[in-house]
């Protein structure tokens, strides 16, 4: 499992809650539903995609969720909105400008939106400044947790609540052009995670390297003694996966990549309810890029003992 190797590398973590989308938040408050969400930052535009189970087929529930602008497909309702809350957009943009920031979970429950993220302790001052601004400008802003990292599974505990998560690993043979310095500025041995979702051709990641390994191309230093670096690159198959994610309005909760020699492994953590849609995405990807030789590596459910639902108090 790739995520287990790196999810504790960043030593700080934060969980905040606030209000930013009244129709969706009101829906969760009235019907007791919990929805996942994914932010996508393109230029100055922040798009949010919310998705919910469509297991409740009562006429009242269906009418209420459709009133939020949702569309239904493959067992889920999805709602895509452009954030009209300038304070949330400003808050999110201030975070992504922090070099060690990595987006975690975004979910809405009981009438509030919750967001987790991880970062390295050298950026504690920058994160504090962003959080103080959140208190000044955002509606009902609250810090739920700020301290030592509890890793990937910590926010999953809050957002699980009847929505188990799967981990999917698939293996690729990158073409030679993907191994040059423009596409691969760090080297031939690394693990990376995407910091946040952005536009095509802009893959903003943190890279984790073994002790003694050094990046070979353009990069930023997060913590050299821990082998943590940042770099922006591009990858055609990741861009296509994101394009299909836009098409089906489905996105993984976290995404990890590992390059070892000539093999590239991609691992995604995602709500189990979108499993069939994710498989459709993989099938279309193999047809689009046969030269990458995409094969399945593993598929399993996150162990329930580490993501069982718990209350919001840390």
Per the CB < 8 A criterion, the answer to whether 246 and 238 are in contact is: no
Give the pLDDT score at 249: 67
Residue 136 to residue 309: CA distance in whole angstroms: 31
Give the pLDDT score at 163: 63
Sign of CA dihedral 263, 197, 8, 275: negative
| pTM, rounded to two decimals | 0.86
Tokens of 126: 């920058």
Residue among 115, 123, 79 at smallest CA distance from 97:
123
Give the pLDDT score at 145: 93
Per the CB < 8 A criterion, the answer to whether 122 and 228 are in contact is: no
Where the chain has pLDDT below 50, the residues are 158-160, 305-314
Give the pLDDT score at 99: 96
Give the pLDDT score at 55: 58
Q: Give the distance from CA 262 to its chain's centroid.
A: 26
Give the pLDDT score at 152: 65
Tokens of 63: 């009418």
pLDDT tens for 166-201 read 888 999 998 887 777 667 778 778 999 999 988 777
């Amino acid at each position: 499992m790739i995520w287990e190797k790196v999810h504790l590398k960043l030593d700080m973590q934060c969980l905040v809650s606030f209000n930013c989308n009244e129709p969706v938040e009101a829906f969760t408050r009235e019907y007791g539903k919990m929805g996942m969400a994914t932010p996508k930052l393109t230029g100055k535009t922040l798009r949010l995609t919310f998705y919910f189970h469509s297991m409740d087929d009562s006429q009242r529930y269906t009418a209420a969720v459709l009133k939020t602008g949702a569309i239904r497909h493959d067992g889920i309702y999805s709602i895509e909105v452009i954030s009209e809350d300038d304070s949330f957009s400003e808050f999110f943009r201030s975070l992504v400008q922090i070099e060690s920031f990595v987006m975690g979970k975004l979910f809405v429950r009981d009438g509030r939106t919750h967001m987790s993220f991880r970062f390295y302790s050298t950026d504690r001052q920058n994160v504090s400044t962003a959080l103080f601004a959140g208190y000044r400008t955002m509606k009902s802003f609250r810090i739920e947790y700020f301290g030592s990292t509890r890793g990937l599974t910590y926010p999953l505990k809050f957002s699980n609540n009847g929505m188990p998560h799967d981990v999917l690993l698939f293996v690729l043979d990158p073409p030679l052009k993907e191994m040059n310095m423009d596409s691969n500025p760090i080297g031939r041995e690394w693990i990376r995670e995407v910091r946040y979702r952005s536009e095509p051709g802009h893959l903003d990641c943190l890279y984790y390297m073994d002790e003694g390994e050094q990046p070979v191309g353009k990069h930023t230093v997060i913590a050299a003694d821990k082998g943590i670096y940042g770099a922006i690159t591009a990858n055609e198959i990741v861009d296509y996966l994101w394009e299909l994610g836009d098409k089906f309005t489905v996105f993984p909760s976290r995404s990890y990549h590992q390059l070892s020699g000539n093999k590239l492994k991609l691992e995604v953590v995602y709500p189990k309810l979108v499993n069939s849609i994710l498989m459709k995405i993989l099938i279309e990807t193999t047809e689009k890029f046969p030269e990458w030789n995409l094969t399945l590596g593993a598929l399993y459910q996150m162990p329930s003992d580490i993501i069982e639902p718990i209350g919001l108090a840390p």
